[in-house]
Structure 1
Amino acid sequence: MTTQSEQALENKMIKQLVSNGYERVTITNEDDLVANLKTQLEKFNHTTYTDSEFKQILNHLTKALNPFDKAKVLRDKFSFKNDANETVYVDFLNLEHWCQNEYQVTHQVTMHGKYENRYDVTILINGLPLVQIELKKRGLEIKEAFNQVLRYHKHSYGAGLGLFQYVQLYVISNGANTKYYTYSKNQDFKFTFYWTDEKNKRVSDLEDFTKTFLDKCHVSKMITRYIVLHEGFKQIMVLRPYQYYAVEKIIDKVKTSTTNGYIWHTTGSGKTLTSFKASQILSKLPKVDKVVFCVDRTDLDYQTSREFNEFSPGSVDSTDNTRKLVQQFADVNTKLIVTTIQKLNTAISKEKHTKVMDDLADKKVVFIFDECHRSQFGETHKRIVQFFKNHQLFGFTGTPILEKNAQSKNGVKKLTTDLFGERLHDYVITDAISDNNVLPFSIEYVGRYKYKETSKNNLDIEIEAIDTTELFESDERIEKIANYIINNHDSKAKNKGFTAMFCISNTKTLIKYFDLFRRLKKEGKHDLKIATIFSYTANQDPNEDKSGEIPEENLDFSNAKVDIHTRDVLDKYIEEYNKEFGTSYSTKDSKSFNDYYKNVAKRVREKEIDILFVVNMFLTGFDSPNLNTLYVDKNLKYHGLIQAYSRTNRLKGEKKTHGQIVVFRNLKKATDDAIELFSNRNAKEVIIVPPLEDYIDQFNDAVKNLLAIAPTYLSVDDFYSETQKLQFVKAFRELLRLKNRMDTYADFTFDDLILDEQAFNNYSSKYQDLKREAENQPNKDSVLNEVDFHLELIHKDIVNVDYILRLLANLEEEEIETETKKKRQSEILSMVDNDPVLRNKRDLIEKFIVEQLPILEQNEDVTEAFSDFINTEKVKEFKYLVEEENINENRLEEAMESYMFSGRFPTNNELVETLKEKPSFRERRTIGERLISKVNYFADRFLRG
């Protein structure tokens, strides 16, 4: 049986669309597209347009310069003066009755931009191209279709009148796998989505996808109701299937019943967008008087209001205080409110608000509670349901309270279902990781304790087995952990490409850690930017850490009993923060502390803070794609554990392959229990990335595959067919993927691999050459143009000679005291000592610092001076080597030049052949090994790194 061709796939799809009610139309170029657009807009608007009238419409459609602005034009009416000087309106899309639009399908439309491009299949709605489908034959990667669309954006979508910039949905398929997505300024394949059924089962086959997703009414509904225009990022967003089903379930509940319900969507899966869309649609229903979105912290009130307004400008007015909240309840024009549970409780409890609020008691009010696993289990919940007689409640949670993780109060366990009724839709962590909507976790358990020799039990004991506060808070243990973090953080954070949080058992221990990190920074042991925030109330629950719970955050301590010492310490830390960042926060009042909280959150998100030290704050509800590591010295379990771990697993480019959890306690059983509870019993291997050994095995297998295609890196030069080049690129790309994952493990070295680092870099160079060839390929049909090159995986900031020279150059430019300069120079040399590649150059770098750096002319280039210095030293050492070993200078020079050109180091025998006097057969091996050692040492010092 032959493989189904791209053309056959295309023909079959068009036939299926026509059978589903699409009109087939032949459009070969932009002139045909414009003529058809006039006809379809006339049909849709039940009128006719003269040429001059249609010209006004066309001018309006084409004046928007980018896809985001065009998406807004599409959703708006256009008014103009017709030939009779009357004001008339034209609609481009029926937003309310989405099935009542005009549908057509065409294929192979040719557009001329930078290159001539022909698009596979285009769905036209009311004459505008709103869905573009790119197909690849079965057997090819679906990502090749994604890359094809990227090139269309670059080369031709904006050409001519730019009508293809109206496309709202892109569909890519190779027949077996089909995905959809929408336009964004920075397209990323990770933000392409499979459609699923309600149970999260993928609809991946093109035929099934066409039948369900591309059904006329459904695709119109996705475009009109489930695309969101994010004004903040100027980004078009489309809901994923689980978000779609959740909103549909809530809407149906409100329309057809008075019962409640909750949505279980795992942390990090985009609950804010889902809840916004549900709130927005509900607020437009005639039977609903108010929609109230409740969060449990003031910072989330601000954050959610901001996000809602970016999704839909002016949709909400953040409630700064309870009085304002009451005014919003009273205003009939305010349908959607975002507030905190605390302010809502005050509004319905305080007598001064009774007059206004009592009038609302019988109104239809729909409440949507964010993170409903945390804030709905007290008296506030009772007051809300008793006050609003005609209420409906919906909750969102990533970690519901189930029988296993429920806390017993007065002998009663309150579950999420007790308060919110049935679960309307679920999308658990295994679903999200499988769909690449969140990342898996890499969990490292660090640290074991041993009884001293004099002890009766001379055994290795895991940390949890010696569960004493005295041990956990001992200075020795804290110092060991601090040093471990300092020594490994650059590797974890990819040289400050990401940021981290350190969650600690209690405030007292946090202060110990923070003071130690401050001291070590002053001593020059690290240059990490650190910050902290914690509660300063008195009487912290001594059992809190043992419980593994994360209590609710409260940033308002105005009515709480304050621990004066703790508050003073925090103010000292905040003052240091103020000096570093030019701010002026304190704990003097709730507003200033709140502003400090928001500022810290902003700086963590923007990578201006390397490690944030916390006890409970920020472990729930805080999102930052740039945060990739959580250090844990705190007991966690069930929903608290999953919530804390999930701070690290937001998507962020190719370099972030998983969230990293470094645990200094034995939380293995707690982790396994939490994973089992919040996913399924077989989820562990999906949620937790494999150990380093597994990746080493995979890498070595991938090397064997690569060597079968290209036995040496020079073999790539002999590849004349594009098929061979494509095989090599795909094989090496897999090595890149695995190498990127292994880089995050602290104990990874090339010693465990069957391909050494030099060989890897040689193949990498050939890979980059092929990428450049693809980018400069005049033949647009080249197979290489279809390839997904992951060059960003290669780049990693490393401490090399160039890096050291940049530090030295900066040091020379700074006007600092001699003692400080000496200290900095010492730090640089310490950095050299810690790098195995630079270690054998230490004496050269130190000699340059001592002898040459002080005598450099002002503005003299440090790099050039170092190069001259190294060349001089190289000549000296080379001459010493040839004299010491009685080597023919010219022959050794030729051997080294050959090595620099080919990358192949000379063998023992080849080095022996450079000697002026040939040794006996018996001596050759010993002398050859000595020469290899000496010449290698010379090469390390002067030719490598």
Structure 2
Amino acid sequence: MAGYQSEAQLEEGLVKRLIGLGYAPVTLPDMAAMRENLRLQLGKHNGVTLSDSEFAKVINHLDKGNVFDKAKTLRGRMQLTRDDGTPLYLRFMNTQEWCQNEYQVTTQVTVTGHHKTRFDVTLLVNGLPLVQIELKRRGMELKEAFNQINRYQRHSYWAENGLFQYVQIFVISNGVNTKYYANNRKQDFKQTFFWAEEDNTLITQLDAFADAFLEKCHVSKMISKYIVLHESHKILMVLRPYQYYAVEAIDARVKAGRKNGYIWHTTGSGKTLTSFKAAQVLIENPKVDKVVFVVDRADLDYQTTKEFNHFSDGSVDGTDNTKALVGQLGGDTKLIVTTIQKLNTAITRDRYEGVLEGVKDQRVVFIFDECHRSQFGETHKRIVSFFSKAQMFGFTGTPIFADNAVGKQTTKDLFTQCLHKYVITDAIADDNVLKFSIEYWGKLKRKDGSLIDEDVPSINVKEFYDSPERIEGVVDWIIQNHDRKTHNKQFSAMLCVSSVDALIEYYEAFKRKRDAGEHHLRVATIFTYGPNEADPDADGLIGDPDLNVADLPVDVHKRDRLESFVADYNAMYQTSETVKDSKGFYTYYNHLSKRLKDRDTEAALDKDRLDILLVVNMFLTGFDAKKLNTLYVDKNLKYHGLIQAFSRTNRILGQVKSQGNVVCFRNLKPATDDAITLFSNKEAIEEILIAPYEDYLTQFNEAVELLRSVAPDPESVNELKSEDDKLAFVKAFRNLMRLKNVLRSFTEYDEGDLVLSAQEFEDYSSKYQDIGDAVKTDKPDDGASILNEVDFELELIHRDEINVAYILALLSEALAGEDSLDPKIRDASKAKKKSVFDLLGSERQLRSKRELIEKFIEQYMPTVTGETTIESAFDAFWNAERSKATVELCEVEGLKPDAFAALIEEYHFSGKVPLQRNVVEALEKKPTILERKSAVSRVIDKLLKLVSTFDEGLG
């Protein structure tokens, strides 16, 4: 007798559970029986009895098309002409009241296609097989079930009228691990998901999964509401649990009233799909008049509209200009995608007021993409003021908290409450995004090997970073290592740099080396430019009177430089792009975007690939391309900007793309550590304690008095002669601007409260702008040059793999300073310590280890002295605790220590649960036949718990 549950026993237990959940058992040995059952169930659901000829027409209707076509058929109705000539609109599934359907469970249905196959457990809704469950016995690899379903896809699901092509959701389980996924034959095993509770606690055991996911109403709801038909790729997609809970939370919020809210889902976890489904659910609410999806840049408008239309062809009318947006707002369009800039223009221009009069008091729900960017500022208040029934929801992977706020407002200030959280540690642990592998290259050191402190204000660090010699060294490094990072150019990369000037230097270095035959990388670039840049030749010196302006280089203006780079692009791909006007600029942007994203498709050709996209800021947020796996960084990033940029690399794609590669040519490790810490902590502080409005108003009015003491009115600024007087004016007005920006963030802000009129403020501002460049303020100069001292050779500073172990180590290190004499350092350490414990409570992989880790932090860390590192002390502590737990387990269960150690070693090697006979042999005293099963099961459970606690999830 086997000491483990067989597949047949697993199936029997599942069927009993499903019957307990309300499924009616039915025996359907073959497809003939299934068709007859379908006739009865469809008749029952529609309240009719179908004759042989009528049902033949139904079968013929159901047999048409592929899986995607049949998903549409399932959700539609069939116009059936009955034998007596009367019409009948036959419904296959009630997707509006999804609990009102007929539910059955059957097993071992035999289908004959290329081969005769039998399916494990099938859930029928109105007689159609909509959920197929494939089981493997405990101890077997879950992927075996996934591969088996793929085999059935090829061999038999299409056979005998193709009824099994109506399956919407597949479930695979080996008892201890259970996952689900949509019926999409092209997807990878990584696109299978565990179900989870709302706090992201995974539900992996089959029985618990059945109770939570396969319950009749829930699984029907998933099929009716949370299967997405991706029109562009003609595939089915199903929401992951965190996406489901986010949409449910927004839907409930709208049904309950008009309170706002925001969703914190880490970058790369499928925000577009979540927001689309939220919008789709909301427009079906009869109490909602319009849903407006708002992005913050025109370059995202095209992409987001395209993504939405991918999910449902023609569902979204993208707005090419403000007039089109106004027409949509004033017309019948229910779902609109637009930019915040066009929305702001629409509600502030008098000429649109008449057209928009009808929508002002309608129930308009706004969904803001990456709301940390788009919603801070005046536009938020204008929307609330203009739309009397506005309700606003924000999506962000990187919220604004107290720690990373630039101004005085956090995401919570504007959206009131976080409705659901799915942070970077959740996503990495679930394999829903890739982990990051980060390298830091380029120590700032002298030629004699000594290090140069970048924080010394008297040296010109910017000159070093922008020096052509250094940039050439970085380009050489990329040329030498790019193939390794991108798996021989299977993937693309981005290089982000600090400025347009640096970008031009980089581009020309790549081009120069390509022309010299040093590489064959395809490099393209895009950047924005000012329409009226300063002319470097306008320096006040007397020029050559014989010089003809036509003889000047055509690339003096950065726009001309970009145009020449686009000409290189055209030559490389035989295209005809231009950036001579705004329309051409965004057409070129869209072509770059499409070129990178099209590498995701099976039809992609190597001749169309782009190896490196060179940018300053564009493409670093909101852009997703699965075939982009590497980011080269030569600019300073921090907090949300850093996470957003790094996350361009972490989209899941097959087995080859195992991680997102980030190569930093500056030492961004402290900034990376801070960002990962902040956005892993679900209890991050969301409120900034600021003084009341009246206090800032008083400060502003006092600052006006100080300004007038320097310059009583704007014209008097002209009379300021000395540099000191001009400097005093610049400082006074700068302080005034700062205070006004703070005041504007308050909802009670009123221009009339200020003792300085708006016109006078603007007049002072003009004087300030003109005089500012001519005045030496308290800003330090660029500092001394270090170019002659510095060694430009790149050197690896540090390499990190961002996983749970990294985050834990990072937070542990943050506890330094607990015993500092400086109270500020002690307070900071206390706050960081709290974040450690918050993370231990929220991170699933750490929950089983929480007590031990807290014990280490509280009892052992204070004793770490001398040259002992935190890591080595932790390893010693962990090994000791593991040994102690193993000894206790062996004593309690009467196990031979050596034999039990062998069981653990074998489990680590094979991944399979120990056989019953091996467990019995490890026992000091052999149990009786009646005791054997419970004793073996108890030992195996404790072994798995020991391994889970001490060996898994540490990195």
Question: TM-score normalised to the size of structure 1?
Answer: 0.69
Q: Following the alignment from structure 2 to structure 1, what is the Cα–Cα distance between the partners of residues 616 and 281? A: 38
Q: Deviations over 1:760-797 (max 9, x none)?
A: xxxxxxxxxxxxxxxxxxxxxxxxxxxxxxxxxxxxxx
Aligned to 2:582: 590
Identify the residue that residue 428 of structure 1 maps to in structure 2: 423
Structure 1 stretch displaced more, 527-536 or 475-484: 475-484
Q: Distance in 2 between matches of 1:260 and 1:642?
A: 25
Give yes or no for contact 2:290–2:364 (8 Å, CA) kept in 1.
yes
Contact 1:638 1:673 in 2 (8 A): yes
Match for residue 655 of structure 1?
A: 656
CA distance in 2, matches of 1:42, 1:688: 59
Q: Distance in 1 between matches of 2:556 and 2:593?
A: 25
- Secondary structure in 1 aligned to 2:355? helix
1:180-205 CA distance string (max 9 Å, x none)? 00121313101100000100000111
CA distance in 2 between counterparts of 1:90 and 1:606 reads 40
Structure 2 counterpart SS, 1:624: coil
Matched position secondary structure for 1:650 = coil
Structure 2 counterpart of 1:359: 358
Q: Is the 8 A contact 2:295 2:370 kept in 1?
A: yes
- 1:358 shift after superposition: 2.1
Q: Deviations over 1:782-835 (max 9, x none)?
A: xxxxxxxxxxxxxxxxxxxxxxxxxxxxxxxxxxxxxxxxxxxxxxxxxxxxxx
Name the residue aligned to 1:574: 566
Letter in 2 for 1:487: Q
Q: Which residue of 1 aligns with 2:438?
A: 443
Q: Quick check: 1:614 aligned with 2:607?
A: no
1:645 is aligned to 2:763: no
Q: Contact 1:442–1:689 at 8 Å: present in 2 too?
A: no
Contact 1:251 1:282 in 2 (8 A): yes
Per the alignment, residue 390 of structure 2 pairs with: 391
Give 1:241's aligned residue: 241
The 5 A counterparts of 1:422-571 are 422-453=417-448, 459-461=450-452, 468-537=461-530, 565-571=557-563
User: Which whole-Å CA distance do the structure 1 matches of 2:576 and 2:39 have between them?
Assistant: 60
RMSD of aligned Cα (Å): 2.6
Does the 8 Å contact 1:441/1:688 carry over to 2?
A: no
Give the whole-Å Cα distance in 2 for the aligned partners of 1:481 and 1:538. 31
Change (3 A) 1:462 1:612: farther
Letter of the 1:477 partner, please give it: R
How many angstroms does 1:576 deviate by?
Answer: 1.4
* Deviation by residue 1:416-461 (Cα, 9 ceiling, x = unmatched): 11111100001111111111111000001112233234xxxx5234
Q: Does 1:685 align with 2:791?
A: no
Looking at structure 2, the residues matched to 356 and 63 of structure 1 have their Cα atoms a distance apart, in angstroms, of: 46
Distance in 1 (CA, whole Å) between partners of 2:474 and 2:808 is 24
Q: Deviations over 1:727-774 (max 9, x none)?
A: 99x98999xxxxxxxxxxxxxxxxxxxxxxxxxxxxxxxxxxxxxxxx
Evaluate the alpha carbon distance shift between residue 311 and residue 606 of structure 1 in structure 2; reply closer, same or farther with a 3 A threshold.
closer
1:270 matched to 2:388? The reply is no
- TM superposition shift of 1:663: 0.5
1:16 paired to 2:134: no
Change in CA separation of 1:173 and 1:398 when aligned onto 2, cut-off 3 Å: same
Residues 1:564 and 1:282: Cα distance change in structure 2 (over 3 Å): farther
What are the residue-to-residue correspondences of 1:27-46 with 2, within 5 Å?
27-46=28-47
Distance 1:197 1:689, change over 3 A: closer
Supply the distance in 2 between the matched residues of 1:507 and 1:306 (Cα, whole angstroms): 29
Deviations 1:885-922 (A, max 9, x none): xxxxxxxxxxxxxxxxxxxxxxxxxxxxxxxxxxxxxx
Please tell me the residue identity of whatever aligns with 1:642.
I
Give per-residue Cα distances to partners, 1:835-890, cap 9 Å, x unaligned.
xxxxxxxxxxxxxxxxxxxxxxxxxxxxxxxxxxxxxxxxxxxxxxxxxxxxxxxx
Q: 2 CA distance for matches of 1:272 and 1:156?
A: 34
Q: 1:391 to 1:498 in 2, by over 3 A?
A: same
Q: Distance in 2 between matches of 1:327 and 1:583?
A: 34
1:939 corresponds to: none
Q: Percent identity?
A: 57
Aligned pair in 2 of structure 1 residues 563, 679: CA closer, same or farther (>3 Å)? Answer: farther
Partner of 1:902 in structure 2? none
Alpha-carbon distance in 2 for matches of 1:372, 1:107: 48
Cα distance in 1 for partners of 2:416, 2:573 equals 47
In structure 2, the partner of 1:227 is 227
C-alpha distance in structure 1 between counterparts of 2:378 and 2:55, whole Å = 62
**Paired residue for 1:311?**
311
**Mean Cα displacement is larger for which, 433-442 or 563-572?**
563-572
Between 1 and 2, higher relative CO (CA 8 Å, sep ≥ 6) is seen in 2
**For 1:528 and 1:605, how far apart are their aligned partners in 2?**
18
1:71-102 deviation per Cα after TM superposition (whole angstroms, max 9, x unaligned): 11111100021101111111000010000000
- Distance in 2 of aligned mates of 1:463 and 1:522: 35
Aligned to 1:104, the other structure's residue is in SS state: strand
The one-letter amino acid of 1:606's match is D
Per-residue CA deviation, residues 528-576 of structure 1 (Å, 9 max, x unaligned), is 00001111127999xxxxxxxxxxxxxxxxxxxx996211111111111
Distance 1:690 1:356 in 2: 56
| Conserved? CA contact 1:134–1:145, under 8 Å | yes
The correspondence of residues 138-149 of structure 1 with structure 2, limited to 5 A, is 138-149=138-149
CA deviation after TM superposition for structure 1 residue 301, in Å: 1.6
Quick one: distance in 2 between partners of 1:309 and 1:611?
A: 28
Shift of residue 166, structure 1, vs aligned partner: 0.6
SS at match of 2:804: helix
Alignment deviations for residues 31-89 of structure 1 (CA, whole Å, 9 cap, x no partner): 1100100010011001101100010001000122x211111111110002110111111
CA contact (8 A) 2:435 2:803 kept: no
Question: Residues of 1 paired with 2:239 and 2:363: CA distance?
Answer: 27
Unaligned runs of 5+ in 2: 535-553, 600-608, 684-800, 810-870, 872-904, 913-955
Q: Partners of 2:531 and 2:87 in 1: how far apart?
A: 69
Deviation at 1:330, TM superposition (A): 1.7
How is 1:646-795 mapped onto 2 (pairs within 5 angstroms)?
Answer: 646-680=647-681, 684-686=802-804
Written as runs of structure 1 = structure 2, the 5 A alignment for 1:290-329 is 290-329=290-329
What secondary structure is seen at the aligned counterpart in 2 of 1:606?
helix
Name the aligned partner's letter for residue 649 of structure 2.
T
In 2, the alpha carbon distance for the partners of 1:496 and 1:593 equals 27
1:361 aligned partner, one-letter code: K
TM-score (norm 2): 0.68
What code does the residue aligned with 1:583 have? T
1:210 alignment counterpart: 210
- Specify the alignment match of 2:184 in structure 1: 184
Offset at 1:214? Answer: 0.4
1:502–1:632 contact (8 Å) kept in structure 2: yes
> 1:215-268: CA deviations, max 9, x gaps?
000000000110011110001000100010000000000001211000001111
Which residue matches 1:26? 27
1:344 match = 343
Q: Structure 1 residues 108 and 397, CA, compared in 2 at 3 Å: closer, same or farther?
A: same
Picking from 402, 411, 416, the partner of 2:411 is 416
Contact 2:24/2:103 (8 A) holds in 1:
yes
Distance, in Å, in 2 between the alignment partners of 1:288 and 1:606 is 36
Q: Contact between 1:129 and 1:164, CA under 8 Å: does it hold in 2?
A: yes
Amino acid at match of 2:254: V
Matched AA of 2:578: S
C-alpha distance in structure 2 between counterparts of 1:668 and 1:464, whole Å: 15
